[in-house]
Amino acid sequence: MNLITLNSKYKKNSLEEIIEWLSEDLNKVNKIILDLMSNNLPLITDVSSYIISSGGKRIRPLLTLICSKLCNYSGDRHINLAAVIEFIHTATLLHDDVVDNSKKRRGKKTANFIWDNKSSILVGDYLLSKAFRLLINDGSLKCLDIISQTSTRISQGEVKQLMSTKNFCTSEAQYLEIISYKTAELFSAACRVSAEISEVNEEKKNALNDFGKFLGMAFQIIDDTLDYFPKDNMTGKESGNDLKEGKITLPIIICYKRSNKREKKSLEYLISKENLKKIDFLNTIELMKKYNVEEDCQNKAKHFSIMAKDSLGVFSHSSEKEKITKLTDFLIERNY
Amino acid sequence: MNLITLNSKYKKNSLEEIIEWLSEDLNKVNKIILDLMSNNLPLITDVSSYIISSGGKRIRPLLTLICSKLCNYSGDRHINLAAVIEFIHTATLLHDDVVDNSKKRRGKKTANFIWDNKSSILVGDYLLSKAFRLLINDGSLKCLDIISQTSTRISQGEVKQLMSTKNFCTSEAQYLEIISYKTAELFSAACRVSAEISEVNEEKKNALNDFGKFLGMAFQIIDDTLDYFPKDNMTGKESGNDLKEGKITLPIIICYKRSNKREKKSLEYLISKENLKKIDFLNTIELMKKYNVEEDCQNKAKHFSIMAKDSLGVFSHSSEKEKITKLTDFLIERNY
């Protein structure tokens, strides 16, 4: 597992601080993941090790761990549940990359590019089933309910997204629904299960549910904005992928809505093209700059991140809460 | 739902008799399936309705219903569980057709051919998650355990099969392991869950587990044999698909093992070819005839079907048991 290497001369960011703080738990999560991947068919081990270790930020399992701390949870079920969340996330990544026909993710070749689509589909199926196996071992019908609902929603969100491809009729409201399903649900489940095992009151359960949901919305808006406006080229993926794939995300929705007739026509032409050129992308960026799209997207993300933080109002002040707040800010201000 | 239409002038086969006998339960299963498919995103409704109604034999849910009768089960949980089993089966079909790049199944165009691979992947994911949702509503951790284990095994079996593509080193033992995972596990689970909800003793639970497993093995061997030796062209799929796809199934394994050096070389050449011609297939059939492959495969299927029937020895004689025995024979002698 590639955790970010910490260098003492270097000022840590909030994510790195939290990773260090939770390193003991994170190592246990990694151990479960590694154990489940080894002792398996070579293709399953190879593909799943590759994707799991390919440098994701591991935000989702981290949320399960950190929310457990916030709820003063003292058992060890959060470890298993964090691994489940990461497995489900990984399964969706494998299938997403096939659906999007992606060649790169986080600057590394995608599994479907190195192996093939077949392997990615089947190993994705395996990881999803394995996630449910792990979850059943935990034995909580409530957590099963939360996570299976999430898994259904994720695929519905992906289908909604597929149906909106190249379709400028997609509204901002529809976009928000798509990202709520495909991204925010899993963030929400990652936080909610911690509340569930901690047996905090219903109010706190709902608070963590909402926190995860709003954070997920903010996270995805930032992701979609970075695809048009990468910072320091640290996203690891080439920018402009969404436009190339005809994916209708917030920046292009806002840009289109604000465009005049001529600009609208030109955007419609662009999105319908098979092979987008660099200049097409640059022209789109110019148009987005004219309409202040980047800043407005960031503000919309901030709007959700503020709702996320306010959801935690029911928890009294603690160092754990402060860390979660800092993590939330970091995820919105991140440049990768 | 397309159940086989019964015509009074016509002598019913065992499958049709059983479908008539269980029609009340089957209609309830169909209702659950239809309800879950409607009130959904149009693409999900369209793809899943298409594949679920495209004329499968519905053997697996039928097994759950019939085994519940054998166990004198009097509740209604078997209906829900039969729907879960059909959903899981349908999800794997959708992904299989993408992995195999199939254009036809049961004589009808495949979903990935009518829509696209993306839709098949995502709707497959949706159906799998939905199956788990249904199962969680049932509330039995034991059934969840059985079916999630099965779902994991199915994807492992598919991966094993993918790894054996075009590889003549695949042994008969490896083939048996592949079909045990990819097919027999679900047959077994379909029977086993009925025992589970009926609360029969451990011996009967194991008996139904084994019955399903052996029946599944026999069923898949017949399927793989029909791909080379279709009867009355009723399989609905063009024959020779497995050879075209380089899938190493029992008929070709036996044929290869029995071939002389020259014939082996020629089979190796054939399987490595990109575009197989009709004459290549006919030559392979000739070689198989020389080595008595069809009959020997049928005998191997029969071997498993006898084991299946003998597994039921622990159940005393009843009309239900007789029907299951007849169904087993029908599935081995079927010509589609």
ipTM of this complex:
0.82
CA angle B83, B87, B91 (to 5 degrees): 175
Q: How far apart are CA B313 and CA B323, in angstroms?
A: 14
* Chain B residues closer than 8 Å to A133 by CB: 148-149, 152
Contact B117 A98 (CB under 8 A): yes
Write down the pLDDT at residue B4. 44
Domains and CATH numbers, chain B: 14-333 (1.10.600.10)
Query: Residue A107, Cβ neighbours under 10 Å: how many?
Result: 14
Q: How far apart are CA B14 and CA B8, in angstroms?
A: 15
Task: List phi, psi (to 5°) of A171.
Answer: -90, 170
Query: Chain B residue closest to A138 (CA)?
Result: B141
Write down the pLDDT at residue A7. 46
Q: pLDDT tens digits for B240-284?
A: 889 999 999 999 999 999 999 999 999 999 999 888 899 999 999
Q: Could you tell me the CA-to-CA distances from B112 to A126, B100, B105, B121, B302 in Å, in that order?
A: 21, 10, 11, 9, 34
Q: Fill in the DSSP letter of residue A49.
A: H
Q: Which two tokens stand for residue A119?
A: 């392997």
- Residues in A lying within 8 Å of B, measured between beta carbons: 40-44, 92, 95, 98-99, 117-119, 121-126, 128-130, 132-133, 136, 139, 141, 144-145, 148-149, 151-152, 154-156, 158-160, 162-163
Contact A126 B152 (CB under 8 A): yes
Task: List phi, psi (to 5°) of A54.
Answer: -90, 40
Strand partners of residue A109: A104
Range list of H helices, B39-140: 42-52, 59-70, 77-99, 111-114, 117-138
pLDDT beneath 50, residues of chain B: 1-8, 235
Task: List phi, psi (to 5°) of B11.
Answer: -75, 125
Instruction: Give CA A99 to chain center in angstroms.
Output: 17
Q: Which two tokens stand for residue B217?
A: 């093995």
* Chain A residues closer than 8 Å to B167 by CB: none
Q: Report the phi/psi class of residue A293: left, alpha or beta, with left for phi > 0 and alpha for psi in -120 to 50.
A: alpha
Strand partners of residue A104: A109
* Chain A residues closer than 8 Å to B158 by CB: 122, 125
Q: Fill in the DSSP letter of residue A312.
A: G
* Chain B residues closer than 8 Å to A44 by CB: 156, 159
- Mind listing the pLDDT tens digit of every residue in chain A (336 residues)? 444 444 445 678 888 899 999 999 999 999 998 888 876 888 888 888 888 877 678 899 999 999 999 999 999 999 999 999 999 999 999 998 888 888 887 778 888 888 888 889 999 999 999 999 999 988 889 999 999 999 999 999 999 999 999 999 999 999 999 999 999 999 999 999 999 999 899 999 999 999 999 999 999 999 999 999 998 655 455 688 899 999 999 999 999 999 999 999 999 999 998 888 999 999 999 999 999 999 999 999 999 999 999 999 999 999 999 999 999 999 998 877
Q: How many CA atoms lie within 13 A of A99 on its CB side?
A: 28
